[in-house]
Chain A
Amino acid sequence: MASTPTSTTMGFTGEPPAAPRTDRERQKADRRAAILTAAARLFAERGYAGVTIEDLGTAVGVSGPAVYRHFPGKSAVLAAILEGASRSLLDGADRVRIEAPDAASALRALIAFHVDFALADADVIAVQDRELEQLDPGVRHEVRSLQRRYVEHWVATLAELRPDRAEMELRFRAHAAFGLLNSTPHSARTPGRRPADGAVRGILEEMAWASLLS
């Protein structure tokens, strides 16, 4: 196997519940991940309400009913996408803060990590921004809680860099930076083609840094 890092190491793949052991289980895990990827794209393009289970099946080449072998329904697909995304973000931020030698490096790494995620998973970010309310209350609570813990990593890092500033302001700045980072990759995307990630990345990182610390 090529030991090649991807452009993003925390890209959302829709982790299956347990490590598959047989060919059949692996095939099922692949299919499940393909459904999640296609669903994120379709939900981002048409909105959650505009996509049917049949559409999800068609996108990966199976019948609508076959999708039910992987998910009990459309809301379970949305739940898996949003839980997976918020868990990946939180895990990434946990790792970044453990590894960073100081607060400034931590903030740079948090920004770079988030930009990576927003560029690699623009569909997922768009769905997260728009469709959170569609989740069942229990799952929504879980996703919100993961998201809050993610924001806390940013606020705590900013507080180390700007101890003079009120926590409320830091939190507001963090959310404003997410708005900048989350909306741009998706809106800057032309049909069928992604923006040149390398160019976009540098601009976004610089703008986020400025917006957080200005």
Chain B
Amino acid sequence: MGEPAVVTLRATRDTDLDTLHRITHEAGHGPDHDPGDDLEWRTVRADGEIVGRVTSRREGGDVFVAVSLPPSASEAVGVRALRLFADTLPRPLHAKVAAADEASAAMLEHCGFRRVDAGLYRLD
């Protein structure tokens, strides 16, 4: 199969939620809440198939982004989705990464984020 030809984002729909819940569960991202007013949710699709989501939320005046993809997804898909998402958001953006999560850290750096503190990344 290789890399998908096209990665797209769309505003998350009610009908996407079952699939997204399953994916975030597989990814070990814990229980989900439904999209609220303080969150932007985008469904990530690779060649038309739902593969995960990107979200943004406000925390103490800063905007944080997060990517949820199943462990089987390639880092490149995460990079492509995050890049599309970040381009539509005001800077600076922030992201948190668990200490052992080297793949996510690599993905963020690939998108131009830099490490500002332990587990904390920023894109200006």
Point out residues on A near B: beta carbons under 8 Å: 1-7, 9-11, 13-16, 19-20, 23, 26-27, 29-34, 37, 59-62, 194, 196-198
Enumerate the 4 nearest inter-chain pairs by beta-carbon distance, A residue then B residue, closest first.
A61-B87, A7-B15, A29-B6, A61-B88
- B15 adjacent to A2 (CB under 8 Å): no
- B48 adjacent to A1 (CB under 8 Å): no
Question: How many B residues are at the interface, by size bracket?
Answer: 35 or more
Q: Which residues of A contact B15 (CB under 8 A)?
A: 7, 197-198
- B8 adjacent to A34 (CB under 8 Å): yes
Q: Which residues of A contact B11 (CB under 8 A)?
A: 194
- A9 adjacent to B48 (CB under 8 Å): yes
Report the Cα distance A26→B84, complex, angstroms: 12
- B7 adjacent to A194 (CB under 8 Å): no
Interface flags for B34-68 (1: CB within 8 Å of A; 0: not) read 00000000000111111110000000000000000
Q: Within 8 Å of chain A (Cβ to Cβ): is B101?
A: no
Q: With A3-B49, A6-B16, A15-B5 given, name 9 new contacts (CB 8 A).
A: A1-B4, A1-B46, A1-B72, A4-B22, A6-B19, A6-B45, A30-B83, A194-B14, A197-B13
State whether A27 and B50 are in contact (beta carbons under 8 Å apart), knowing that A1-B1, A2-B23, A7-B16 are contacts in the complex. Answer: no
- B49 adjacent to A1 (CB under 8 Å): yes
Report the Cα distance A20→B4, complex, angstroms: 9
- B6 adjacent to A16 (CB under 8 Å): yes
Most buried by B among A10, A26, A62: A26
State whether A2 and B80 are in contact (beta carbons under 8 Å apart), knowing that A61-B87, A62-B87 are contacts in the complex. Answer: no
Residue in B72, B88, B89 whose beta carbon sits within 8 Å of that of A2 in the complex: B72
Q: Which residues of A contact B7 (CB under 8 A)?
A: 26, 30, 33
Residue in A7, A20, A29, A62 whose beta carbon sits within 8 Å of that of B13 in the complex: A7
- B48 adjacent to A11 (CB under 8 Å): yes
CB-contacts of B77-99 with A (<8 A): 77, 80, 83-84, 86-89
State whether A37 and B10 are in contact (beta carbons under 8 Å apart), knowing that A4-B19, A30-B80, A60-B88 are contacts in the complex. Answer: yes
- A27 adjacent to B83 (CB under 8 Å): yes
Looking at the assembled complex, report how far the CB atom of B73 sits from the nearest CB atom of chain A, in whole angstroms: 6
Q: Within 8 Å of chain A (Cβ to Cβ): is B103?
A: no
* Listed A/B pairs (9) with beta-carbon separation below 8 Å: A2-B70, A2-B72, A3-B49, A4-B22, A20-B5, A32-B6, A33-B7, A60-B87, A198-B15
Nearest chain A residue, comparing its CB with the CB of B51: A2
Q: Which residues of B contact A62 (CB under 8 A)?
A: 87
- A60 adjacent to B72 (CB under 8 Å): no
Q: Within 8 Å of chain A (Cβ to Cβ): is B3?
A: yes
Q: Which residues of A contact B45 (CB under 8 A)?
A: 6, 11, 13
Q: Which residues of A contact B8 (CB under 8 A)?
A: 13, 30, 33-34, 37
CB-contacts of B87-124 with A (<8 A): 87-89
Looking at the assembled complex, report how far the CB atom of B72 sits from the nearest CB atom of chain A, in whole angstroms: 6
